[in-house]
Amino acid sequence: MEIAIIGAGVVGRATGEGFARLGHKITYYDKENKPKLGEVTFICTPENVVEEILAEFTPLQFFTIVVRSTVPVGTCEKYHHVCHNPEFLREAVAEYEFMNPDKIVIGECCKKHGDVLAELYKPFNAPIVRVNPTTSELIKLASNAYLATQISFWNQIALIAEKLGVNSHVVGKACALDPR
């Protein structure tokens, strides 16, 4: 499949390199060269550029356009036939995490484009959550907030553990064994 990646930063490169490993033809676009749509086009740019890029591409229904950027809830719904496929990647290990996801969220604008993305991600053997784009955008924002909350919580536990002379890593590992 021919895949266009708009934005060649951490997310764009991880996405492109991952799909290239699966045999897809990847073309990267950035500020210097005007993007052309592929069979599937992933927008992996900073949030403030996403709508500007989407406005350039009309009509969109003939292509599978996918926003991977973190955007405000409702962004993709403003445009017809735009999917949202949030990334859950850490910069230092982005390519590894792209190839080994714990989940894949597809915010499908319609079944046709959702099916294209589901087929594209099928080799990853990860649970695929198919929802509408607005739900997908909220999943990404909620995940970010949840992770930030966990970090803050465990930082506080580490401070308490230090004052008590307790190894906070032992506390964290024991708590993580709880399946709830």
Report pLDDT digits (tens) over 96-145. Answer: 999 999 999 999 999 999 999 999 999 999 999 999 999 999 999 999 99
Three-class secondary structure of residue 58 per DSSP: coil
Q: What is the pLDDT of residue 59?
A: 63
Q: What is the pLDDT of residue 82?
A: 95
The span from the CA of 41 to the CA of 112, in Å, is 15
Helix (H) or strand (E) holding 130: strand 128-131
Q: What is the pLDDT of residue 80?
A: 85
Confidence of residue 55 (pLDDT cuts 50, 70, 90): confident
**pLDDT, average across residues 34-47:** 92
Query: What whole-number percentage of the chain has pLDDT above 90?
Result: 86
Evaluate if residue 56 carries a pLDDT over 90. no
Instruction: Please give the DSSP secondary-structure letter assigned to residue 100.
Output: S
Evaluate if residue 62 carries a pLDDT over 80. no
Beta strands in 51-115 (DSSP E): 64-67, 82-84, 104-107
The span from the CA of 83 to the CA of 65, in Å, is 6
Confidence of residue 60 (pLDDT cuts 50, 70, 90): low
